[in-house]
Structure 1
């Protein structure tokens, strides 16, 4: 019995010794090293939490994205890399005693699986639409399945020039663009962005604006203290060409009727501009030598050299400037103490009608000179009362001007009975075109109509009110006035 007990005691001791040796120290360890980078460009990611499952040591990657897990017990592990803003990376690892294994993590951002929005569908204007207005509310649609907030970019090009209209950061699927050009073919495209993925482009669609109306004439109307240029078509529809925030005046259509030249006040100076009939393609011609005289709102100018140039006054000098701009060329100088107020050139360039006054605006004279500035004809000179105008016929044989036959003169240059006269150079006679004007009014600013069968002028009460009316008077073959018709009220400076 004692022997049996001793045997059992020995077995128990051996078992205890065997169990006490089955500890962690009896398993081998290894090392897990690695690197954490951003997927795509492989830039290192710092402060990424690296841990294992089953749990062991937890460390953080350094500035180079490197990490090391020391004394990891041999076995099978799932190694995890975690950082806010990134999708957790998981890599399997089987570690043996004394082994060092390397694990590479390529983490994606949390938005890496975010889907792009759908390509915008262009709704209006429809593809290849025609006769569109000059103000269009563009409409489109795009869907983002994740519900991300979308922003849009609208881009508009045309087939006429290299101008591009780009509107960015649009939050809605509607956007209105105004002041488009008549008769242009436009190409438009919209891109959508969820601020996560790259922008998605719509297809390109086209549309065409309505054609340029057949304008009857242009005129000026005063709005909020500024002169504003309008056009009017043959049906009487008005179209504002210049901004009411700018002072633009004395519009003149060229012979082909496709350009308007006009004056605009810029930094206190009166400068020449041109534009298309819809107000587009604005171009400033004069800069260093602006238009100037004793009353800048009354000074005129004319198209010259078959619409290739413009002639305009600067005090006693008359200049010509190419419509592409550049240096002005001096072509005529008045005598000392005389100031040029207006000029007009015949179509063949052989004659220029010139209006001159003294510094008070009186002692007016109208001369016809040749291209070199030599005097050809004196139309009117040495009279009392204001003389104004002028215009010259296409063939250079007739001259328009105005004269206040009341001969009244004062410091405010008020006129009491200004009439339009048509001077025939060959006959040396002047015909009164204003015989049938209303009493107590003045006729001013005369110009030939496009076909020279009528005269455009301005009629206004002689008490200097703003009740000005653009008016037309027909001209008979014998130069006598025919029918007289008021065109549009509250208008001045008409040109056809």
Structure 2
């Protein structure tokens, strides 16, 4: 029996040998390597290295080094995997008792990503003119890899060196608001897929219309300075529209008066401690100083008023007890009138036919007031009212020149602060010498109606209504003169209205 077993073992041993007589033992070698970025050859740490077909796995160290020791000698596929990078494959043959070194160069995962197409500007058309001051910018852009795109709009203009950038936009449109009237803008769009370099569109331009076409002018006090604004107003839904700041907030500018013929706004501004008349376009541009040697001066600069001539070529204004006219280019200064008793001229208005001038005179405290109508030669044509103890103001001829609008404090109250207690609007009729109290309806007790002006069609009055405490909110208000009388507040915290 022992002899049979021995023969069997010998048989099994020789059966396991190959055809060439070698014995079938597994032989080993080593595989080492390094993983680097393809650009710059910076070592990559924590890269997963997998061998196929064995699926052995290791990770690279801080130097990008990896190794497989005592692995079967054969052919392998070496795979490098790391988040944010493209997988990298290399073939390798491990020889018996040998060491093969495989360097793997990895590219970031976006290496094959393509940049977005150049943005195409759609609207407004290049060189578009007379646009409203709210402009919708529209463009198109695409990406071959369908990446998420973000946009930056760069905007420049022709009136200063500011560069405005609107960033992180995801929509392919943007509404640019509060553009400056009369200004030219230049715009471009930059697109990025946050992978490749930004791509910039071509440059386009557009120009905002020069005239805001607002009918109303008024003043707001901001930080101690008077600032002039213009607006429109929707009567259908009582909404203020298209508000435009015309003068700078760091300058004291007040009493705006518009003439439609030259399409200019005249106003008062302090210059070297004197009040002077300036003109500007209806968009606030082209500022020009009119007066120089003879400023506007009198009892109270906030109460002072001036007037355009009917043809818009001259301005009439008071200087203490004298009344002057001056061409709007600053030439032709001429004294029109001087009071006989030395009383001060505070306000004036020039009739639309150019034949007569209304002036309000008062003493140095603003009281003992009169309203006179004079000719251009200085002759007194009419005394509308005289010897008034309380405050008077707000002179404005009707378009026909047959009526004169003004305000009067019927309480006859006097104070060093020029506080008024019950100021009402009156319309004087030159034909029958009668007065109409235009405040008789709707005016609340304890309030004043100040600085009244006729509407262009004379169907309405525009004025300031405020509490007689002298510190409450002032509102520019409108009222009709016939039918069912109804007051409408147009502009809050506003004074010195003009409606042309």
TM-score under structure 2 length normalisation:
0.61
- 1:160 aligned residue: none
- Check conservation: 1:188, 1:205, Cα contact below 8 A: yes
- 1:296 aligned residue: 301
Q: 1:270 aligns with which of 271, 275, 297?
A: 275
**C-alpha separation between the residues in 2 aligned to 1:179 and 1:121?**
25
Q: How does 1:181-196 map to 2 (within 5 A)?
A: 181-182=180-181, 186=184
**How many residues matched?**
341
Q: 2:489 aligns with which of 486, 489, 493?
A: 486
**C-alpha separation between the residues in 2 aligned to 1:270 and 1:441?**
29
Does residue 402 of the first structure (1) align with residue 401 of the second (2)? Answer: no
Does residue 460 of the first structure (1) align with residue 463 of the second (2)? Answer: no
Q: CA RMSD in A?
A: 3.5
1:214 Cα deviation from its structure 2 partner: 3.5
- 2:315 aligned residue: 310
Does residue 495 of the first structure (1) align with residue 494 of the second (2)? Answer: no
1:466 Cα deviation from its structure 2 partner: 4.1
**C-alpha separation between the residues in 2 aligned to 1:171 and 1:455?**
42
Q: 1:249 aligns with which of 243, 248, 254?
A: 254
1:411 Cα deviation from its structure 2 partner: 1.7
- Check conservation: 2:261, 2:311, Cα contact below 8 A: no
User: Which 5+ residue runs of structure 2 have no aligned equivalent?
Assistant: 1-117, 140-154, 168-175, 189-200, 235-239
User: Which 5+ residue runs of structure 1 have no aligned equivalent?
Assistant: 1-119, 140-153, 157-163, 191-201
Q: How does 1:119-134 map to 2 (within 5 A)?
A: 128=126, 129=128, 131=131, 133=133
- Check conservation: 2:187, 2:205, Cα contact below 8 A: no
**C-alpha separation between the residues in 2 aligned to 1:414 and 1:173?**
49
Does residue 382 of the first structure (1) align with residue 398 of the second (2)? Answer: no
**C-alpha separation between the residues in 1 aligned to 2:290 and 2:135?**
29
**C-alpha separation between the residues in 1 aligned to 2:487 and 2:165?**
54
**C-alpha separation between the residues in 2 aligned to 1:121 and 1:262?**
46
1:127 Cα deviation from its structure 2 partner: 5.2
- 1:98 aligned residue: none
- Check conservation: 2:212, 2:282, Cα contact below 8 A: no
SS in 2 for 1:215: coil
**C-alpha separation between the residues in 1 aligned to 2:489 and 2:262?**
22
1:283 Cα deviation from its structure 2 partner: 1.2
SS in 1 for 2:312: coil
- 2:220 aligned residue: 221
SS in 2 for 1:273: strand
TM-score under structure 1 length normalisation:
0.62
Does residue 473 of the first structure (1) align with residue 472 of the second (2)? Answer: no
CA shift in 2, pair 1:485/1:167, >3 Å: closer
List per-residue Cα deviations over 1:380-424 (Å, max 9, x = no partner): 001221111211112221111111111111222111101110000
Q: How does 1:60-459 map to 2 (within 5 A)?
A: 128=126, 129=128, 131=131, 133=133, 165=159, 167=161, 181-182=180-181, 186=184, 206-210=205-209, 212-235=211-234, 236-237=240-241, 238-256=243-261, 258-436=263-441, 437-459=443-465
**C-alpha separation between the residues in 2 aligned to 1:405 and 1:440?**
12
